[in-house]
Structures are given as structure tokens and as C-alpha cells.
Amino acid sequence: MAGTGSRGRAERRSAGELESEVLAALWATERPLTPAEIQHEIGGGLAYNTVHTILKRLYDKGLVLRDADGRRGAYRPAKNAAELTAQAMHEALDRGPDPIAALQQFVTGLSAEEERALRELLAGDGARGA
């Protein structure tokens, strides 16, 4: 259902943006993904070869790993560097209220009542979208 409105948009995404999307897709799923699965996941009419090239580039940067024991050709995200990043992030952001003030956070807090309203919204949206 989602992403159907975005077919044919792939041409307008830059190589760097596609790299981010592939990396995000790998992190979002629990298991390793093959290029074909990634192609299906991010959609937007992306060519298989493009996905392959992007994965190669991410691999060269050490951001993804080839799945050694699993299915051939599957990739998974490199966890070690990301764990160090998480450590640094928590050190930087959790020190006090000040440092965070300058940042753009995607979302902030919710009250219990707001939470209920958003849950209803998602439920309604899902039903309509299905």
C-alpha cells in the first residue's frame, strides 16, 4: 500500500540519498536482506543493478557486511561502529537540557491523551490504506 504513489520517482533521488535509504532499510529489518529484497523494500522503480552498486559502495565504506553464514548475497548492517556512535550520541545528548536545545528533533513528547488520539489515527489510516 505505501509507496505506490512514488513509482517513477527514483530518478530524482541522488546517489547519496539512495545510499541512506538502503542503509535505513537494512537497519529496519531484523534479518539480512538480499539486493532483490532491498529493491522490493524501498520500491520507487529502482533498478536491481543500482541497488547492487549502492550495496557495494556501502560495503566499501564498512557500513554493511556480507552475510557469511546465511543466504548467499545477503547483506546486514555493521553493528560495531553503530554501537560506538550510539555511545557517543548518548554522551552528547543526555548530558543536560542545553545541548539538545539547538538540535532539530523529529518528534518530542506526548501526553496520554495525545497518545490515544494518535493511536486512533494510525488505526483509521491503516484500515483505509489497506
Partner 1 sequence: MRYDVYSPLVLSLLLSAVGPVLARRAAPAVAARVLASAAVLTAAATAWSLLLLAAALIGDTPPVIRAAREHGRPLTDPVPGVIGLAAGLALVVVALRIHRAVRAQRSTRRALRRLTAGQPAGTELIVAASEVPRALAIPGRPGRILVTSAMLSALDPAERRVLLAHERAHLAHGHGALVTAVTLAAAADPLLGPVRSAVVFLVERWADERAAAVVGDRRVTARALARAALCASRARTPCALHFTDRAVTRRIAALRTSPPPSRWPAALAVLALGTLPALLAADATGDLLHLLPGLCG
Q: By CB under 8 A, name the binding residues for partner 1.
A: 2-3, 5-6, 9, 16-17, 19-21, 23-25, 27-30, 41-43, 61-63, 77, 79, 81-86, 88-93, 95, 98-111, 114-115, 117-119, 121-122, 125, 129
30 phi, psi to nearest 5 deg:
-75, -35
Closest to partner 1 by CB, 6 or 49: 6
Minimum CB separation from partner 1 for residue 27, in Å? 5
Q: Are 75 and 67 in contact (CB under 8 A)?
A: yes
Minimum CB separation from partner 1 for residue 46, in Å? 11
Burial label for 33, CB within 10 Å (0-12, 13-18, 19+), is: buried
Beta-bridge partners for 33: 75
